Amino acid sequence: MKLITYLGSFKLLPWTVGMWLVTLVSAVLALVVAHLQESRSFAVFFKVVASSSFIGLSLAAGMQFSPWGKTALAALALSWLGDVFLAAEGSAWFLAGLGSFLAAHLAFCSVFLQRGIVPHVAFGVLVPLALISIFVVRKLVLRSGRFPRGPVYAYGLALSAMVALAAGTVAHAGNPAIFLAAVSFFVSDLSVARDTFVEKNPLNKVWGLPLYYTAQAIFALSL
């Protein structure tokens, strides 16, 4: 019931929020179709539109006026930059995208710490997620031998910390939508790992991209 109440409060926001949400959803649907049709140029275009939309959504929702708004906007901007880097092909661009998203996760961690956390809740979530991240890195990423070990492990731990601190801040300050967004972000990254290191398949985008953009939209409306 609390989640419904928080989501229902979005109706009080300006009409521009609805405009950006429609733009975001439309762009994500077009992005998924572009991947299914293997149209790279359209995929890059709609990815930029979709990612720009969650920036616009955050501003329309008034993120810049919250106590931690600048940090949250920086996190979304770093995610936008990561999306642009990952739209390009090649190992160097992938590592650039990895670095951008690592910085984005650290920025989100800072936001959650500013909101306040319940330490034992955050730690209880961090331990299993960190183990899952290490397992995924060892099984999928390092076996490929394509990327250095350190940055990939650092990314997995930063992602796990982001989700754990999201749980901690929900326990402290409420709004379960924040934890839902963090988990969606975590799971969407599994689709990226699968597409990059296991099997490049458009179906990975079908479930991964909606989860990712759902996470960013919820962050834009909740922080």
Q: At 8, is the pLDDT very low, low, confident or very high (cuts 50, 70, 90)?
A: very low
How long, in residues, is the chain? Answer: 223
Q: At 214, is the pLDDT very low, low, confident or very high (cuts 50, 70, 90)?
A: very high
Asked whether residue 7 carries a pLDDT value surpassing 60, the answer given is no
Q: What are phi and psi of 146, to 5 degrees?
A: -90, -20
Asked whether residue 3 carries a pLDDT value surpassing 60, the answer given is no
* Residue 211 neighbours by CB under 8 Å, 6+ apart: 184, 185, 187, 188, 191
DSSP string, 118-156: -HHHHHHHHHHHHHHHHHHIIIIIGGGT-S-HHHHHHHH
Integer Cα distance of 207 and 161 in angstroms: 23
Q: What's the Cα-to-Cα distance from 202 to each of 146, 189, 206, rounded to whole Å?
A: 21, 15, 7
Q: At 152, is the pLDDT very low, low, confident or very high (cuts 50, 70, 90)?
A: confident
- The model's pLDDT over 101-149, given as tens digits with 9 standing for 90+, comes to 999 999 999 999 999 999 999 999 999 998 988 887 777 666 666 666 7
- The model's pLDDT over 72-89, given as tens digits with 9 standing for 90+, comes to 999 999 999 999 998 887
Element (H, E) at 71: helix 69-87
Integer Cα distance of 153 and 207 in angstroms: 24
* Residue 99 neighbours by CB under 8 Å, 6+ apart: 151
Asked whether residue 207 carries a pLDDT value surpassing 70, the answer given is yes
Burial label, 113 (beta-carbon count in 10 A; 0-12, 13-18, 19+): middle
Instruction: Let me know: does 222 contact 178? Beta carbons within 8 Å.
Output: yes
Q: At 23, is the pLDDT very low, low, confident or very high (cuts 50, 70, 90)?
A: very high
Which of 201 and 185 is assigned the larger pLDDT? 185
Name the residue with tokens 């008034």: 62
Q: At what angle do helices 40-60 and 202-222 cross, to 10 degrees?
A: 10
The residue-averaged pLDDT of 178-192 equals: 92
Q: Which amino acid is at 42?
A: F
- What 3-state DSSP class applies to 199? coil
| Confidence (pLDDT) at 76 | 96
Q: What is the pTM of this model?
A: 0.87
- The model's pLDDT over 36-95, given as tens digits with 9 standing for 90+, comes to 998 989 999 999 999 999 999 999 988 888 888 899 999 999 999 999 998 887 778 888
The fraction of the chain above a pLDDT of 70, given in percent, is 90
Integer Cα distance of 192 and 182 in angstroms: 16
